[in-house]
């Protein structure tokens, strides 16, 4: 799979990365697919895609590569699951706008709900929204970097982020009502 990479240094680095994290990636894919063989296929597909376009992977800083691959594997796993189960995904309206500052969102929710509850809620978001929220707000990717990482348009990133933020805000609002 890595033999398509012409640069020996990149090939060795990607092989090492794969060996170090493959079990983690298989586990993530298995959470979505509930089938170890499909999970293996998802991870192989992700690394095959990276091997064919290594500049995308090597354009991500080394400290963000695991998160990048997690997002890629989640997307592939989600697509595989949806295709296998014939679930259609709603196309995103690319005309919506949102606040491009990821940190103003975080400031608004800090301290209003327990970390564990919020984490569990974010994990329950649709994978497409969760991945954008993770890359933009937690990993600090720009809109352009997120779009490139997930192979979607910047407008789709903005729409998914807006939907995720609205869902989190609504969740926090409901949690606060419970304790008031």
Residue predicted with more confidence, 81 or 95: 81
Residue predicted with more confidence, 2 or 5: 5
The two three-digit tokens of residue 27, written as one number: 């586990």
Residue predicted with more confidence, 79 or 26: 26
Three-state SS for 20? helix
pLDDT, tens only, 42-89: 999 888 888 888 888 888 888 888 888 888 888 888 778 767 764 333
Measured at the CA of 157, the angle between CA 10 and CA 87, to 5 degrees, comes to 95
What does pTM read for this prediction? 0.49
29 and 43 Cβ atoms separated by less than 8 Å: yes
What contacts 50, CB < 8 A, 6 or more positions away? 14, 56, 57, 69, 72
């Amino acid at each position: 799979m890595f033999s398509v990479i012409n640069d020996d240094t990149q090939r060795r680095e990607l092989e090492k990365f794969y060996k170090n994290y493959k079990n983690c990636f298989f586990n993530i894919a298995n959470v979505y697919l509930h089938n170890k063989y499909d999970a293996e296929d998802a991870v192989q597909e992700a690394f095959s895609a990276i091997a064919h376009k290594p500049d995308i992977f090597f354009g991500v800083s080394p400290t963000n590569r695991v998160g990048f691959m997690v997002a890629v594997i989640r997307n592939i796993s989600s697509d595989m699951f949806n295709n296998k189960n014939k679930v259609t995904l709603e196309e995103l309206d690319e005309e919506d706008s949102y606040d491009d500052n990821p940190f103003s969102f975080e400031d608004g929710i800090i301290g209003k709900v327990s970390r564990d509850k919020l984490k569990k809620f974010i994990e329950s978001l649709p994978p497409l929204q969760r991945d954008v929220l993770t890359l933009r707000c937690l990993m600090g990717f720009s809109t352009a970097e997120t779009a490139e990482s997930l192979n979607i348009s910047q407008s789709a990133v903005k729409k998914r982020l807006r939907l995720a933020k609205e869902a989190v805000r609504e969740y926090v609002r409901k949690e606060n009502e419970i304790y008031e």
